[in-house]
Amino acid sequence: MEKKVLSHIRHSVQEKRSNLSDWVETTPQPEKELCLDCKVDQPVFEHIAVLDQTLQKAENDTLGVCKVCHGQVEAGVLEIDYTAEVCLDCLSEPERRHLEAELEFSSEIQRALLPQNAPSFPGLDIGAFSRPAQIIGGDYFDFFRFKSGSYGLVIADVAGKGFSASLLMSSLQTALHTLATDSDSVSDVVQRINHYFLHNVNLTTFITLFLGEYDPNLRLLTYANAGHNPPLLYRPSGDPRLTWLSPTGAAVGVLEEYTLRSESIALQPEDVLLLYTDGVTELADPAREFFGPDRLADLVAANAGLSAQDLVSALRKGLGDFNPTASPADDLTIVAAKALG
Ligand SMILES: [Zn+2]
């Protein structure tokens, strides 16, 4: 194989391996359970084993050798899946067409950001801390339409910051916009994103994300939560008033065997859905105490009568009061959606 391709794959797989093993070693247990949607680390080690096999093959000069003709698997194929073992010529016609579609999609998701429209959701009042689709470090939120015409909202957080985080987020954005218009199920969209991101050499970390779909006619919110901080649903006339929308599956890009459930909730007028990234709950005061989910829930309850945008402003003020010296603007994201009467 070309030296340049081989070294790119090796570098990238090593980077992902070190990201993952650092994460396993240093992340507090409750955060890991949230992110993996299970109590054990074993599924991460299955993925690390695949990364190790890839590194071993690179070492032995057997990476990308076609197992049928013993020729070379195309570099572009290996870029989207470094575990690929069959070259294009040795695939059946349907397999080849499928792979070509994946290659096309993969090059699409590496292109520049799509232009964004301001969110307009019938039946929902939306407020957000910053502009739609703005990528701030490792945070991302966005709005879009599903194939069915229903409305999508997403919040995501990359494990790790910096350039690769921004690249991941722009890839995620393009993937979401492309897949949502071709899909009717939030769990299907996230599972397909996992498939594209798991073995892709350009994506060396993983993503937690919450994807919601709102059908304004049924007032129905359907969601899948891939290891993301549980959004808060506050229902002034509900019992219970507070519901945390816990993960329905693991973070994207980390498990070889990936399944994700979806859940649905019918919204009543005045219900408030609050999405946020860990920069909110993990904001520390000068005594290093975390802001935490309880303060967040109290603030939402106290300000739930406001418009969505004023609620977001009240939360920002609450965070500012908690730690007046922090500059949370750089690394936290809040989106509020309030059901209209
Ligand atoms: Zn072959």
* CA–CA dist 313, 247 (Å, integer): 27
CA distances from 11 to 109, 158, 242, 283 (A): 21, 20, 45, 33
Q: What is the pLDDT of residue 223?
A: 98
How much distance in Å is there from the Cα of 25 to the middle of ligand 1? 39
Smallest CA-to-CA distance from 209 within 253, 149, 256 is with: 253
pLDDT at 263 exceeding the cut of 80: yes
Fold designation for 124-339: Phosphatase 2c; domain 1 (3.60.40)
Q: Which two tokens stand for residue 274?
A: 């609050």
Residue 1 CA to ligand 1 centre (angstroms): 14
How high is the pLDDT of residue 137?
Answer: 58
Higher model confidence: residue 184 or residue 19? 19
User: Distance from the CA of 85 to the center of ligand 1, in angstroms?
Assistant: 8
Q: Which tens digits make up the pLDDT trace of 24-66?
A: 999 889 889 988 988 888 999 999 999 999 999 999 989 999 9
Residue 91 Cα to ligand 1 middle (Å): 8
CA of 68 to the centre of ligand 1 (A): 5
pLDDT tens, residue by residue, 128-150: 875 333 444 567 888 888 888 89
| Per-residue confidence band for 111, with pLDDT thresholds at 50, 70 and 90 | low
| Higher pLDDT pick, 162 / 84 | 84
331 CA distance to ligand 1 centroid (A)? 47
| Segment holding 117, helix H or strand E | none
Greater confidence (302 vs 28) lies with: 302
Q: Which residues of 74-111 are buried (b: 16+ CB within 10 A; e: fewer)?
A: bbebbbbbbebbbbbebbeeeeeeebeeebebbeebee
In this prediction, residues 216-232 reach a mean pLDDT of: 96
Distance 196 CA to ligand 1 centre (A): 22
Q: Please indicate whether residue 230 or residue 111 has the higher confidence score (pLDDT).
A: 230
Q: What is the pLDDT of residue 133?
A: 38
Q: Tell me how far apart the alpha carbons of residues 173 and 177 are, in angstroms, rounded to a whole number.
A: 6
pLDDT of residue 258: 94
pLDDT of residue 84: 92
- Give the whole-number percent of the chain exceeding pLDDT 70: 89
Residue 246 DSSP one-character state: -
User: Which pLDDT band holds residue 4 (cuts at 50, 70, 90)?
Assistant: confident
- Helix, strand and coil content of the chain, in percent to the nearest 5, comes to 40, 20, 40
- 120-134, 190-204, 314-328: least confidently modelled range: 120-134
Distance CA 79, CA 227 (A): 26
pLDDT higher than 80, residue 280: yes
Quick check: 132 and 341 in contact, CB under 8 A?
no
The rounded distance, in Å, linking the Cα atoms of 57 and 76 is 18
d(CA 75, CA 89): 14
Hey, which bits of the chain come out as E strands? 124-128, 139-145, 151-158, 207-215, 220-226, 232-234, 242-244, 263-266, 272-276, 334-339
What does the mean pLDDT of the chain come to?
A: 86
